[in-house]
Amino acid sequence: MKKSLHQIILLLAFSVSVHAQCVQSCSIYALSSITYSQFPTGGTDCVPLFSPNADDGYTQPIPIGFNFNFYCSTTNSVIICSNGFLTFDIAQALNPSTSQTSQYLPNPATPNAIACFDFNDLDASLSGGGTITYTTIGVTPNQKFILTYSNVPIWASLSVLNSGQIVLYETSNIIEVHTATVMSGSPYTGTQGIEDALGAAAVPVSGRNSSNWSSTNSAYSWAPAFVPTPPTVVTGTQSSCEGIANSYTVSAAPGATAYAWGLPAFWTGNSTTTAITATAGISGQVSVSATYSCGTSAAITISVNVIPSPLVSISSVTPTIFCSGPSVTISTSGAATYTVLPGPLVGTPPFTATPLSSTTYTVMGTNLQGCDSKNLATYQITVKETPTVAINSGSICLGESYTLSPTGASTYVYSSIFSVVTPNTAGSYTYGVTGTGTNGCVGAPATSSVTVWALPVVTATASRASICAKESSTLTANGALNYSWTAGSTGSTLVVKPVVTTAYTVIGIDNHGCSKTSSVTIIINACTGLQSNGDNDLSISAFPNPSSGHYTLISDIALSVRVFDVLGQLVYSAEFEKGPHEVDLTKLASGKYFLVAGSSEGSKHLVLIKE
């Protein structure tokens, strides 16, 4: 008992599961071949009921004993025709002349709403014309209505006999036709099958649709088909930009083994589950159907409006080849707003950029609906490098020259015309230079600042400008920071004891390194009362004079010889015995030099000219 109950529960569960996924249709029939059976042939004889006769006649409505659904219309009675069929449409006006020969199903001409054993020109009125009976057997809800044709001949052909049964099943609404014997021949063709009330849908047996056919002990069943239930509503976006991935879902259908998604043209995506992610192509319908054990359902759809992506382009970039520094103007088209890289530059055209080097610009666009472009527009410009010019700055002393030395370019143009400048007054000077690279690009001007320092005003004074031989005098220099005397001393003061009249020169250097000289001469007087030989007592000579630097000095006594330049600097000194001696000034510059020769007897001054 428990086992039987368990089987019943499982059966009920299976039935619920099947009906949850597959619904029995009243408009679709499944035709199948079944085993031939012989049902009871007793019941009511139709022959005397046919009007006008048993050749091409109809009965009045015959009760079938239960409600029967045929092509979604429920009735409890049928009309039986002597020509091998019954009709469920008891309201239609039946014209015997239209049912003498078979019809090819479907056919909108009457009769319609029919179930045919052998729709043919049968004649039950002939002598020995056979019988046509109907009966209802069984107990609700399993009753059967049975219409039996027994040995009914084709009209005017007593030897061509036809026997078979049409069976209607209560509850299941199944129709069966069991053919015991059918023999048809031209021109009397036969039809076996069913047709709806409009003559628009029909399910005939193959080879038995208004054709010549014969059969013995065959049977077919027309059962209302179980059709797969479509999924529920598809959810997902109904407006998308082209190229955007969108997700669509349906609720899981009980018992579904797979789902088949359909996409509009140019979409991409694939799924056999309740969800799909697909990339939008063009507008259309996204559909999905479910597959069950009873087949694949009809599809449900969702309409999707796809907004085409803008096709952007760079219409112009000006200029396209230039030296770095200027700006370029970028014009775009195809969208509402744009993003230009590098930058980024965002907004509406035209765009302005200042590239420092050769650059490829890339443009993306967005239309008014907010859809981004699928394509990227590119445009390359060539930027020639502009030289960066640098130049030195510095300072000089008045009278010196300054050399401008720019770098960074190939050729230069100076505001001073020449690269070497020699300002003639003290102060600050600014010089400009522009440079041009080998590619022809001119760099920004560079400037040089040159400071010209004034020379110091150097003076040299003596505490005693005229002294006796072997007396001293103090020389003092002023006007500079550091001093250097021709006598070989440094400092602002110098004590001297010349024995002959001597010119002393001092070089003064200020804090900028600028220098100037000053001279002072100490005169040696012949002081009375002193044992001394004057110049006139000393006899010397030098020749040739002028010369290239070689001089012969002749003296009759020993001498101390010194040679000074015009600045008072000592440039030559020697000690000579009496007689001729060579004085070599070849390494000195051409000019005037002062020779001072002295001894205990006096001194002598000579001027030497070097050519």
Show the domains of the chain with their CATH numbers: 20-227 (no CATH), 235-307 (2.60.40.10), 313-384 (2.60.40), 394-453 (2.60.40.10), 459-525 (2.60.40), 535-610 (2.60.40.3080)
- Please check the confidence at residue 18 and state whether its pLDDT lies above 50: no
Of the listed ranges 160-174, 230-244, 296-310, 514-528, the one predicted with least confidence: 514-528
- Please check the confidence at residue 469 and state whether its pLDDT lies above 80: no
List Cα–Cα distances, 222 to 176, 198, 205, 240, in angstroms. Answer: 6, 18, 10, 47
Q: Kindly state the average pLDDT of the residues 224-230.
A: 88
Of the listed ranges 32-36, 65-69, 227-231, the one predicted with least confidence: 227-231
Q: What is the DSSP string of 89-100?
A: -TTS---GGGGS
Q: Which residues pair with 551 in a beta bridge?
A: 583
Mean pLDDT of the chain: 87
Q: Which helix (H) or strand (E) holds 2?
A: helix 2-21
Q: Give 227 or 198, the one with higher predicted confidence.
A: 198
Q: Token pair 């039996």 is at which residue?
A: 148
Of the listed ranges 369-373, 468-472, 545-549, 584-588, the one predicted with least confidence: 468-472
Question: CB atoms < 10 A from the CB of 236, how many?
Answer: 17
Q: Identify the pLDDT of residue 98.
A: 53
d(CA 1, CA 212): 55
- Please check the confidence at residue 402 and state whether its pLDDT lies above 50: yes
- Please check the confidence at residue 433 and state whether its pLDDT lies above 80: yes
What is the pTM for the complete model shown?
0.50
Tens digits of residue pLDDT in 59-117: 999 999 999 999 999 999 999 999 999 999 887 655 554 566 789 999 999 899 999 99
Q: Which residues pair with 465 in a beta bridge?
A: none
Q: Identify the pLDDT of residue 536.
A: 47
Q: What is the DSSP string of 376-393?
A: -EEEEEEEEPPP--B---
% of the chain residues with pLDDT over 70 = 92
Q: Identify the pLDDT of residue 534.
A: 40
Tens digits of residue pLDDT in 246-255: 999 999 988 8
Q: Identify the pLDDT of residue 498.
A: 86
